[in-house]
Structure 1
Amino acid sequence: MAFVLLTNLLGCAAPARAVDSSELTFDGQNYRVVHLDLKREKLSLHWRDPQTSQPFGSINALRQWGEAHGQKLLFAANAGIYDKQSVPLGLYVENGKTVVPLNLNHGNPASGNFSLLPNGVFVVYPDGHAAVRTSSDFKADGQHAQWASQSGPMLVIDGKLNDQFIDASDSMKWRSGVCVKTSSEVVFAVSETPVNFHTFGRLFRDELGCQDALYLDGSISQIYVDGNGYAGAPAFMVKPYAGIFAVFVAQ
Structure 2
Amino acid sequence: MRRFVIYFLSLLLATQARGSELPSYCLRMEHAGAAYTVCSFDPSKADIRLFSRDDVTGASYGGFAALSSALWRQHQFIVFAMNGGMYHRDLSPVGLYIENKIEKTPISTAGGWGNFHMQPNGVFFIADGKAGVRETSAYLNANLKPDLATQSGPMLVIDGKLHPRFLADSDSFKRRNGVGVSSDGIVHFVISEDPVRFYDFATLFRDRLKTDNALYLDGTISSVDIPAAGRRDSLFPMGPIIAVVERVPDL
1:155 and 2:152 aligned: no
Q: 1:62 aligns with which of 67, 70, 73?
A: 67
Q: Tell me which residue corresponds to 2:89.
A: 84
Q: 1:23 aligns with which of 25, 28, 46?
A: 28
Partner deviation per Cα, 1:29-52 (whole Å, 9 max, x = no partner):
000000101121110000011111
**Quick one: which amino acid aligns to residue 122 of structure 1?**
F
**Quick one: which amino acid aligns to residue 117 of structure 1?**
Q
2-side partners of 1:242 and 1:93: how far apart? 13
Q: Tell me, yes or no, if the aligned pair for 2:121 and 2:135 is still in contact at 8 Å.
A: yes
**Quick one: which amino acid aligns to residue 42 of structure 2?**
D
- How well do the aligned residues superpose, as a CA RMSD in angstroms? 1.4
2-side partners of 1:26 and 1:47: how far apart? 32
**Quick one: which amino acid aligns to residue 65 of structure 2?**
N
Q: Tell me, yes or no, if the aligned pair for 1:22 and 1:32 is still in contact at 8 Å.
A: yes
Q: 1:72 Cα deviation (Å)?
A: 1.7
Identity across matched positions, percent: 38
Partner deviation per Cα, 1:111-145 (whole Å, 9 max, x = no partner):
x10010100000101x1111100011111111111
Give structure 1 regions of 4+ aligned residues with deviation exceeding 6 angstroms. Answer: none
Match of 2:46, SS? coil
1:48 and 2:50 aligned: no
Structure 1: unaligned runs, 5 residues or longer? 1-17
State how many pairs are aligned.
Answer: 226
Q: Tell me, yes or no, if the aligned pair for 1:129 and 1:183 is still in contact at 8 Å.
A: no
Q: Tell me which residue corresponds to 2:179.
A: 178
Q: 1:184 Cα deviation (Å)?
A: 3.5
TM-score, normalised via structure 1 length = 0.86
Q: Tell me which residue corresponds to 1:117.
A: 119
1-side partners of 2:85 and 2:167: how far apart? 22
**Quick one: which amino acid aligns to residue 146 of structure 1?**
D
Q: 1:239 aligns with which of 213, 232, 236?
A: 236
1-side partners of 2:205 and 2:213: how far apart? 8
Partner deviation per Cα, 1:193-226 (whole Å, 9 max, x = no partner):
1101001001101111110000000001112112
Structure 2: unaligned runs, 5 residues or longer? 1-22
Q: 1:19 Cα deviation (Å)?
A: 5.7
